[in-house]
Structure 1
């Protein structure tokens, strides 16, 4: 029987100046890919530098986690940004992380929009096109993490940008596979055991239970845990323990994903 691989990603480098967010130094030892904040929703040059260095040390794939220019709202507020402005904001953040990757002798593995930039692209085709076009302009061969069946997924596939399907065991799902708004009770799954069980079911059965109790069919190649969830470290630990017992191999997408690539670009 061939091995079953999965990528386990987490948002990293979201501290800013004297304000510390997340437990990056511990979490990074347990994941396979890091989504690195680039100074707009979180992070700063020093934090980016340290995060890239840690990722290289532990063999963790590095991703651009570009967000809206919204430090106060942590990138979790909708913003109406013109196409050229949004594309250049994205390209700017890609360039910043690429510079630190060059400094440490490594490369960008993937790209992933943060927060409401990502959520808006679930249903907003124009937003999705602007994101995809920005990436195609500078990193046309680097995959983007997308939610299955989102507009971002559809646009990436249509435009020939490589994509990796992403699942969220620490977030509640609506029946259309969008994530439940954080404003609603139960939107964030904080119980490590529950989140870990959801992760295993997603990978082994291709199913998840929605916020209304319905069973949804899902498929994905990377599992996300949000770094700012208070129980993130324990969630990642429990997921790793359960994956190990199931014989599921956690590895960066750069090591195995291309052979399973869904995009024929």
Structure 2
């Protein structure tokens, strides 16, 4: 079994608003999903985050979201599919400019927040995201949720000629159907470090873990996410890294 990669949403400071020092986390992950200025991040934060990722030889992913700074990109917006394609291209290109200035490139695209949910829930939004990846660069992968029924995603990705990376979450609660629990629920984000580690290891080993109702579920994934704005997740990153390396 291939080793499960570890990714983290990063670069989400903006102006005078600072989330955390990213250096300790960057040293522990394989992939950094960097905000592109619409839901979070700004030009200086993007530049600093890219330089840090290059220093630690971390793969850089564009983490584009809806133009929703006040809602941190977690509020749904009514946009046409062609607008979503343009929205993604705009943000991928912005981040890739900083990558090119530092001798690297955007390696994959992981939409953020409400846009991420729209893409795995709505076929036309999935097609819009796949189109953006294909138009930006041949072979640029799309990262999306590791749901139980992958057939629709795989069929759409194959038709578009776009690779897909399936992602699971260490610090999020899951519904019985494999979708993420809405953040409107108080228990949607795990706060207990032991539960975060336990869920991460279960996913890495292909073992069962509890969904939000306490029922067993299994997920197969290529990469495992911890959220940069969840202090509990950052606190256990070193433990997760060591545990995943031991798989």
Please give the TM-score of this superposition, normalised by the length of structure 2.
Answer: 0.93
3-state SS, counterpart of residue 126 of structure 2: helix
Rounded Cα–Cα distance in structure 1 between residues aligned with 2:173 and 2:154 = 19
What's the CA shift for 1:113? 0.4
Residue 154 to residue 116, structure 1, CA distance change in 2 (3 Å): farther
For residue 45 of structure 1, the aligned residue among 43, 46, 52 is: 43
| Aligned partner of 2:116 among 101, 118, 124 | 118
Offset from partner CA, 1:205-229 (integer Å, 9 cap, x none): 3433211111112101100001011
Aligned 8 A contact 1:129 1:152 in 2: no
**8 Å CA contact 2:196, 2:233 repeated in 1:** no
- What are the within-5 Å matches in structure 2 for residues 189-200 of structure 1? 189-200=190-201
Q: 1:227 to 1:154 in 2, by over 3 A?
A: farther
Task: Encode CA deviations 1:92-132: one digit per residue, 9 max, x unaligned.
Answer: 11111111011000121111000010012221111111111
RMSD of equivalent CA atoms:
1.6
The structure, 1 or 2, with the larger RCO (C-alpha pairs under 8 Å, 6+ apart) is 1
Q: Which runs of 5+ in 1 are unaligned?
A: 249-265
My pick for the range that moved more, 174-183 or 145-154, is: 145-154
Note the 1:15-26 alignment, pairs <5 A.
Answer: 15-26=13-24
TM-score by length of 1: 0.87
SS in 1 for 2:27: coil
Query: What is the number of residues matched between the two proteins?
Result: 244
Give the structure 1 partner of residue 157 of structure 2.
156
Alpha-carbon shift at residue 84 of structure 1 (Å): 2.5
| Match runs of 1:96-175 below 5 Å | 96-149=94-147, 155-175=156-176
In 2: Cα distance, 1:190 partner to 1:239 partner: 15
Contact 1:122 1:178 in 2 (8 A): no
